[in-house]
Amino acid sequence: MTVYGTTLRSRLMLGTALYPSPALLADAIKASGAEVVTVSLRRESGAERAGQGFWSMIRDLGVRVLPNTAGCHGVKEAVTTAQMAREVFQTNWIKLEVIGEDDTLQPDVFGLVEAARILADEGFAVFPYTTDDLVVAERLLEAGCEVLMPWGAPIGSGKGLNNPFALRALRAHFPEVPLVVDAGIGLPSHAAAAMELGYDAILLNTAVAKAGDPVAMAKSFAMAVEAGRLAYDAGPMEPRDMAEPSTPVIGKAFLP
Contacts 24+ apart (CB under 8 A), 115-121: 115/75, 115/78, 115/79, 115/82, 116/140, 116/143, 116/144, 116/145, 117/143, 117/144, 118/75, 118/79, 119/79, 119/82, 119/94, 119/144, 120/144, 120/145
Pick the closest to residue 31 from 223, 227, 230, 231 (CA basis). 223
Catalytic residue (choose from 95, 159, 210, 219):
95
Strands 12-15 and 201-204: parallel
Query: Is residue 43 pLDDT above 70, yes or no?
Result: no
Predicted local distance difference test score (pLDDT) of residue 243: 87
pLDDT tens profile 165-203: 999 999 999 999 999 999 999 999 999 999 999 999 999
Query: Is residue 44 pLDDT above 60, yes or no?
Result: no
> How far is the C-alpha of 148 from the C-alpha of 135, rounded, in Å?
12
- pLDDT band for 47, please (50, 70, 90 cuts): very low
Predicted local distance difference test score (pLDDT) of residue 141: 98
- pLDDT band for 255, please (50, 70, 90 cuts): low
Mean pLDDT of 52-75: 88
Predicted local distance difference test score (pLDDT) of residue 42: 65
Mean pLDDT of 108-120: 97
Mean pLDDT of 150-171: 96
Mean pLDDT of 119-145: 97
DSSP class of residue 98 equals -
**How much of the chain exceeds pLDDT 90, in percent?**
81
Quick check: helix, strand or coil at residue 97? coil
Q: What's this model's pTM, rounded to 2 decimal places?
A: 0.90
Query: Is residue 251 pLDDT above 70, yes or no?
Result: no
Catalytic, 159? Answer no
Predicted local distance difference test score (pLDDT) of residue 240: 85
Range list of β-strands (E), 194-242? 201-204
> Per 3-state DSSP, what percentage of the chain is helix, strand, and coil (rounded to 5)?
40, 15, 45
